[in-house]
Structure 1
Amino acid sequence: MDTVYLDNAATTQLDIEVISAMHESMQTNFGNPSSTHAFGRKAKAALENARKSISALLHVPSSSIVFTSGGTEADNTAINCAVRDLGVTRIISSKIEHHAVLNCVEFLDLENRIKLDFVNLDEHGSVDLSHLETLLKSDTDSKTLVSLMHINNEIGNILDLKAVGELCHTYAAYFHSDTVQSVGHYEMNLSQLPVDFIAVSAHKFHGPKGAGFMYVRNRAQLKPLIHGGSQERELRAGTESIHNIVGLQKAMELAYANLEKEATYIKSLKSYFISSLKEAISGIRFNGHSGDLDKSTYTLVNVSIPLSQAESDMMLFQLDLKGIACSKGSACQSGAQLGSFVLNEVYGKNLDYPGLRFSFSKYTTKEELDYVVSTLKSLSTSKASG
């Protein structure tokens, strides 16, 4: 087996139908959607058709969808606009958020623009909802934004959006959630969820990089962060990338049209992978709730094999040599050659062994997983004996 790609939490392979839709759009929708001539009107129609399609899948008005370059821009826009335009002076978040959120809220705190509180996590890295309520109760005079991701991108833990949203509503707080790892993989009826902002990125569900959107429940009070033209109803200036947005639309339509079938298939792969790893490698640990199919996303597992940091780093290199793509954690941090900040935060001194993240897609096969398990077993056995 030449290559096995198990880093789908970082990015996914483009669906062939998405490529076709984007190719057609690049050929036929090359006009500027802000132009008033026929070419511009055609591009504008494609843009608004994508917005309507996406909003229908999420059960919200099309006016609540603001196209962005991806999840990072959507997260930053939501958080900064909440502070600047909605009068938020306090943010409650967690220390294992994606850096698109974590670095943003820490920067605002450093500039003394907000007071930052971190909610406690349990021994598996899940948010302590009782502590969240305590934090919300502790300062009802300040306008508060709660920013907590739906699915953790490293350990896969799932947050109860409804429970958190209801807590926020009870204490008149705004709620923002990074849903980059969940939209396209889970049904999302935002008309029934008390969430004020979400962030989405197309390349997490077989769409193109450089395309995403922000959902805003009530955009009336918001002003643009990027100034220029009147695109995106004056909330995000810059000529829209029509072919990428069409790709996002197509990827999302495909994801939800085939959701049940593909989710069932990928869940079976994850279950098989977990049982195979347990049988093959003694002492393996599944980090967070990633070994629990009910409490974590079906798209990834994060495991620690009884090896030293140096051996684990070499393991990642050797897996790459054998054509296996996985990661130590978030792709945004991999270039720094650091251990997972998420695992360090969750386990602290109890983090005996570094973690490896394997993430799946509809293109993953059982035969590929067999190859990965046998390779891991061989490498871990040779390390142990050496």
Structure 2
Amino acid sequence: MTIHYFDHAATTPMHPDVARAMLEVMQGPGGNSSSMHAFGRAAKLRLNRSRDVISAAIGCKPSELLFTSGGTESDNMAIIGAARAMRRRGRTHLITSAGEHHAVLHTCEWLAKEEGFTLTVLPVDPAGRTSPEQVRSAITSETALISIMHGNNEVGTLQPIVEIGSIARAAGVLFHVDAVQTLGWFDYRLREMPVDLMSFSSHKINGPQGVGALYAATGTPLDPLQHGGSQERKRRAGTENIAGIVGFAAAVDICVNERKKKQPFMDELRKRWIELLHDHAEVPLIMNGSEQEHLPHIVNISFIGVDTETMLMNLDMEGIAAASGSACTSGALERSHVLRAMGLPDEQIQSAVRFSFGLGNTMEELEDAARKIGLIVRRIRNNY
């Protein structure tokens, strides 16, 4: 059976060059970067070089980049750490949107329930966009932090983070951006952007799982969540994952070098996929998300009249990997909270499938996959 992996928004295959860089570390002599001997100094050198590569790629100082275990930890560190630090300044109000990843939404809700913060969850429009004016209206004298993602992981919609960040900065409010899905697609220059905190994850850009980073601009109030050693400038205790961090840096370096040719190809791949599905699916199709402001590699499509879970099960049997939404919640058989936040009709929500593309996908394989989907839709409609 030919396999088609169209779930790169969940996780991406590791790039061979990344694997080679990590293997060199794992097969070499061990070394703790906090140790003073030669093995420790060698590990520290790898750590520093990796931090230099990634910070240069996103346009910040190396000292402003903290390594974490992934996007969820980066989101938690940013939101909880900044909220607690700002509480000491009399700021106890948080703002986010209903379309955020649960790593942000659930963290904000936990702070409201367990630590007494007040929370405003802003609506999104039918395209999944957050209104900067609604952000402005929600800010009070007690607002500590605004957290709005850059690119949505379910529908690919891009948010106006520069405009929202400018509003936050003018009001003296910290601004956090979940950029887990957008790293590798944008030329970030964080030192020039009105962003105080930004979260990243390695495994969305063909790097290893279990590694991420948090950008924290110089001077940003941020309480550590982990205590122990003095790693990461005393902001995240614990021995660093040197092999994973080296792999992350290698993946970022590849992204920087390949972005200009990769992004146009993904745009064409996405466009062609939509055309092919219209040709083969034989049911009404609706694209969910923004038609103009979207990531190049994610497309969310409702196959009207075809249940999402039934569709995904049949896709899997035909060797096609897709998703119903976030990989963190799709296994729970929940309908997408993002699509509900967008106010879409039930028939659209209950038939939505996310396809996401990346390393290894080709124009040629789309033809075969679209033909299989046509057969699947006919099989489901005919109940056999």
1:6 aligned onto 2:6: yes
Q: 95, 98, 102: which is aligned to 2:101? A: 98
Which string of whole-angstrom CA distances, capped at 9 and with x for unpartnered residues, describes residues 67-117 of structure 1?
000010010001011111122411110112111101100011112521100
Larger displacement relative to structure 2 (80-89 or 217-226):
217-226
What residue identity is the alignment partner of 1:283?
P
Aligned to 2:329: 333
Q: 300, 303, 313: which is aligned to 2:301? A: 303
Aligned to 1:37: 37
Deviation at 1:364, TM superposition (A): 0.5
Pairing 1:310-325 to 2, within 5 Å after superposition: 312-325=308-321
Aligned to 2:368: 371
Task: Give SS of 1:116's match.
Answer: strand
The size of the alignment, in residue pairs, is: 378
What residue identity is the alignment partner of 1:5?
Y
Task: Give SS of 2:198's match.
Answer: strand
Alpha-carbon contact 1:265-1:362 (below 8 Å) kept: no
What residue identity is the alignment partner of 2:286?
R
Aligned to 1:358: 355
Q: 116, 119, 141: which is aligned to 1:116? A: 119
Residue 29 and residue 53 in structure 1: after superposition, are their counterparts in 2 closer, same or farther (change >3 A)? farther
Distance 1:29 1:176 in 2: 38
Aligned to 1:287: 288
Aligned to 2:18: 18
Deviation at 1:213, TM superposition (A): 0.5
Larger displacement relative to structure 2 (46-55 or 369-378):
369-378
Provide the TM-score with structure 2 as the length reference.
0.95
Deviation at 1:348, TM superposition (A): 4.7
Gaps of 5+ in 2: none
Q: 130, 135, 148: which is aligned to 2:133? A: 130
Distance 1:188 1:29 in 2: 35
Alpha-carbon contact 1:267-1:298 (below 8 Å) kept: yes
Deviation at 1:350, TM superposition (A): 4.8
What residue identity is the alignment partner of 1:336?
A
Deviation at 1:280, TM superposition (A): 2.6
1:384 aligned onto 2:381: yes
Aligned to 1:249: 249
Distance 1:195 1:374 in 2: 44
Residue 29 and residue 163 in structure 1: after superposition, are their counterparts in 2 closer, same or farther (change >3 A)? farther
Which string of whole-angstrom CA distances, capped at 9 and with x for unpartnered residues, describes residues 250-304 of structure 1?
0000011111111111111111111222233341001112xx3x31100110000
Residue 345 and residue 381 in structure 1: after superposition, are their counterparts in 2 closer, same or farther (change >3 A)? same
Larger displacement relative to structure 2 (163-172 or 205-214):
163-172
Alpha-carbon contact 2:64-2:216 (below 8 Å) kept: yes
Provide the TM-score with structure 1 as the length reference.
0.94
Distance 2:277 2:2 in 1: 21
Residue 29 and residue 153 in structure 1: after superposition, are their counterparts in 2 closer, same or farther (change >3 A)? farther
Alpha-carbon contact 2:83-2:144 (below 8 Å) kept: no
Distance 1:249 1:308 in 2: 42
Task: Give SS of 1:298's match.
Answer: coil
1:107 aligned onto 2:103: no
Which string of whole-angstrom CA distances, capped at 9 and with x for unpartnered residues, describes residues 144-179 of structure 1?
211000000000000122111111112111100100
Alpha-carbon contact 2:124-2:341 (below 8 Å) kept: no
Distance 1:69 1:106 in 2: 22
Distance 2:34 2:218 in 1: 24
